[in-house]
Each structure stands twice: as structure tokens, then as C-alpha cells.
Amino acid sequence: MKPNIFIDGEHGTTGLQIRERLAKRDDINILSLATEDRRDADKRRQMLGKCDIAILCLPDDAAIEAVKLIEETGNTACKIIDTSTAHRTHPDWAFGFAELDKDQASIIRSSKRISNPGCYSTGAIALLKPLIETGLMASDCSVTINAVSGYTGGGKQLIAQMEDASHSDHIDTSFHLYAMTMQHKHVPEIMDRSGLHKRPIFMPSVARFAQGMLVSIPLHLDSLNNTSVASIRDVLEAHYSGNGFVTVASSDETNETAQLKPEDYANRDDMKLWVFGDDASGHVNMVAQLDNLGKGASGAAVQNLDLVLS
């Protein structure tokens, strides 16, 4: 019997892309609400009460409410994949980044509560976790994270502001920084899941392209423990060896003519890690290249769904 999948919030940006990825699959049965019924509490409750797996594509408060609704229906067998921020540091929820360590895919596979990572977090954690885990980076290292995302990461409101010149709050600039108080909601999960104990400086930005993302972490080599540019790359390669979702650029690719474009990973569900720098200058720049709606959201949710179904 095919498992019933309900995407709660399927008409939002993340939900729509998950729906597209699942549209042609014949191993699952998609439960769906019509657009006009998406705010009907009784119909939502019915769907949440009979689905085998619920994928929540909702704001934090609504995601927390959806979990309660599932519990109230008595649907104790239901597995939940939450794409909101609500449960990303919760100890009872599996963190849905399968490449976090060698056991994480198994943890996700056996869990009933899975929290999808944030898009910026995915890139930052992918770069930081192996370094801290192996001792190349101290957990109290001073870290700065710079990132640029396609505007679809801001959801329908930002999409409308960027694409519609008649919108009352139209944004006509090609690039802008935001979260200037440096209190972005992804910082807690970056720290919690990477092992970083000292709060990083995180500066996100949005540019006028729809999908794609670069997350950059520049460092002084002397802030790390007896390391070199090559050893950083070696640690990342060893950590991600053998999986199809995270790859590490070779030393041949990271030459002085390399140019990284966030749009190059649009509509992809994988991620590539880059290590630039030179021992003589004592500088290194680690960069994660991904799609904010792929490995950073919808693609990761489908990857986690596949683990749960396996």
C-alpha cells in the first residue's frame, strides 16, 4: 500500500517545489487541498489525521500548531518533516542534514520527527562541522559568514516585491544586505549543529536572481590549529566522500581564474564546497554553492522523505 503524503502549505514557494519534485512518482499517494480550502481548519485536520507523512511548509507558529493537530487526531504513526525554523534545535527532532556525520542518515531514517535545515545553515554547517569535529577549528573560533541568496528564499512577499514593479513595496535594487542587527534566525542552528560555541557574525544578502546561493566563510589560517589550505580540503573531502549530494571541488578547480556564480546551482538538489586560499598569505575562503530552494529547502525535504521511506 502506497504511503499517503500531505504537504501542509503546498501552495507556498517551498511546498510548490516539493510538489513538483513528487509529481511523477508512483510510489506514493499525494493528499492535496484545493487552494480555496487551504485555510479550512477542518479539512486540514482531516488530511493531517490520515497521512502517513506530513511535510510542513509553514511559518514557525503554524508548524507548531500542525504538530499539535496531528497529535490531537491520534495519528500516532504519522512522520513529520518540518521545513520551518521551529524545531531545528529541538533535541527530540532529527536534524535533516543527512551528510552531517556518518550516522545522520540512519537517524533520519528511523525518526518520526525531522526538521529540515535552513538554506544558509546548510552551507555554513557543511563547511564548519568537519573542521570543528576533527579539531582543525576550535569551537570558540571567531567566524564570519557572508552569504547571498536568490530572492525566492524570502517567500511570496519578497518574490512579489522583486518581480512586480507596481508592488507598493517594490525593491528595484540589484542587491541588498538585510538582518542588519545580526540576529538572523539561522544562527542558533548553525551553532548547535556545527559545534560552534562562539556566536558567528552572519551577514546575509539578497540579489536579483530567483534561485541559487553562495555561503562564504573567510578565515586566517593562524586562527586554526596547525593547518593548511590543502588539509582543510582534505578534511572536507574525507567527510563527504561517497555521497551524491555534497561534493568538494578539487585543487585544480580552485585556481585564480575560478568564478563562483550562485545561479549555477539553481534547480539542483546537490551542493558543492570550495576551498580557496594560499598558505603564504595565511588566508583561506571556504564557500558552499547550492540552490536556496534545492538542497536549501525543497530538495532536502524530498531527500529526507526518501530516507524515511527507505
Beta strands in 77-200 (DSSP E): 79-82, 94-95, 113-115, 144-150, 175-177
> Mapping DSSP to helix (H, G, I), strand (E, B) and coil, where does residue 63 land?
helix
- C-alpha angle 7-72-51 in degrees, rounded to nearest 5: 30
Confirm whether 119 is a catalytic residue: yes
- Angle between helix axes 119-134 and 187-194 (nearest 10 degrees) is 30
Tell me how far apart the alpha carbons of residues 191 and 198 are, in angstroms, rounded to a whole number: 8
If you compute the radius of gyration of the chain from its CA atoms, what whole number of angstroms results? Answer: 20
Q: Which position among 51, 57, 78, 119 bears the catalytic label?
A: 119
- C-alpha angle 49-296-218 in degrees, rounded to nearest 5: 150
Buried b (16+ CB within 10 A) or exposed e, 269-301: bbbbbbbbbeeeeeebebbbbbbbbbbbbbbbb
Residues with catalytic roles: 119
